[in-house]
Amino acid sequence: MSTIQIQLPSLDSYMSVSENQVKDFQTNGHTITPGVLSPDEIAAYRNVIAAAAEKYNTEKRKMSDRDTYGKAFLQIMNLWRSDGLVKKFVLSKRFAKIAAALMGVKNVRLYHDQALFKEPGGGHTPWHQDQYYWPIDTTNTITMWMPLVDISVEMGMLTFASGSHKKGSVMDYEISDKSEEAFERYVKEEGFEISQPQTMRAGDASWHYGFAIHSAPGNQSSKMREVMTIIYVADGAKVTQPKNDYQVNDHRTWLLGKPVGEIIDSELNPLLL
């Protein structure tokens, strides 16, 4: 264990973000920053994260026995609390600095991390808005979505309705067949441009606002789509009254039940810059 720790590269050096990238993110609600991690860096952390995801994955059902959400991906959350090596990745200042720069804020806090591994033959991820699940009083929330391996569209590429974040919360749906149908109709009616990269390299990073409407096709390849995500919230954000059962759970699980109206600053939400 100690040998691996010594070999893991530090991820605290900063990477500059251009004005065009900031504008692209704030206009469209999403953007990609290529090469956030070097090939050597992503190779080292891929081994650590994949091992932790395998260790802590609790999904043991056959694909045929799962619902649409269960078929979409293996979801392993807050690995930074379970694995000290993954913690170095999740608390990276490099990632946090990019998140803050894109949102135009000084500091960010961690909301939580989650590994999203889409198995070969895994189903589509229905259209949804992440922030439906979060009892947070700001729209300055952002998710980093980083593939640990090179991926293509056939493996389940993240797909966005560009500009949809500006509408705020538009549907009262969790990720489900109903959200797919309702958002699909809404996206067409609003005429949002659909954005879907053809490929991403391991170590590239996609970023999106919490209210950006997005989805992903199923994994039609023979390879696991290995992705690690980190969700950030602007420092100073406050807890809001939960609006649904999912927000009740998030309030308890990721905010440690901080009273409504108080600053988000529990031990699970460290300041990263």
Tell me how far apart the alpha carbons of residues 193 and 209 are, in angstroms, rounded to a whole number: 16
Q: At what angle do helices 19-28 and 93-103 cross, to 10 degrees?
A: 70
Handedness of CA 267, 269, 272, 273 (dihedral sign): negative
Q: Has residue 1 got a pLDDT over 90?
A: no
Residue 3 binned pLDDT confidence (cut-offs 50, 70, 90): very low
Contacts of 150 (CB under 8 A, 6+ apart): 199, 200, 201, 202
Could you tell me the two tokens for 174?
Answer: 């969790």
Contact assessment for residue 142 and residue 212, using Cβ atoms and an 8 Å cutoff: no
Could you tell me the two tokens for 237?
Answer: 């954000």
The per-residue DSSP string of 142-196 comes to: EEEEEESS-EEGGGT--EEEETGGGG-------SSHHHHHHHHHHHHHHTPEEE-
Query: How far is C-alpha 120 from the chain's CA centre?
Result: 20
Comparing CA positions, the residue from 32, 239, 226 lying closest to residue 136 is 239
SS3 102: helix
Is beta strand 141-147 parallel, antiparallel or unpaired with respect to 205-209?
antiparallel
Q: Has residue 7 got a pLDDT over 90?
A: no
Residue 57 binned pLDDT confidence (cut-offs 50, 70, 90): confident
Tell me how far apart the alpha carbons of residues 220 and 124 are, in angstroms, rounded to a whole number: 10
Percent of the chain, pLDDT > 70? 96
Residue 45 binned pLDDT confidence (cut-offs 50, 70, 90): very high
Q: Has residue 6 got a pLDDT over 60?
A: no
Residue 153 binned pLDDT confidence (cut-offs 50, 70, 90): very high
Strand partners, 215: 159
Percent of the chain, pLDDT > 90? 88
pTM for the whole thing? 0.94
Q: Has residue 239 got a pLDDT over 80?
A: yes
Could you tell me the two tokens for 248?
Answer: 């009740």
Residue 68 binned pLDDT confidence (cut-offs 50, 70, 90): confident
pLDDT at residue number 2: 39
Domains of the chain, each with CATH number or no CATH = 18-58+70-253 (2.60.120.620)
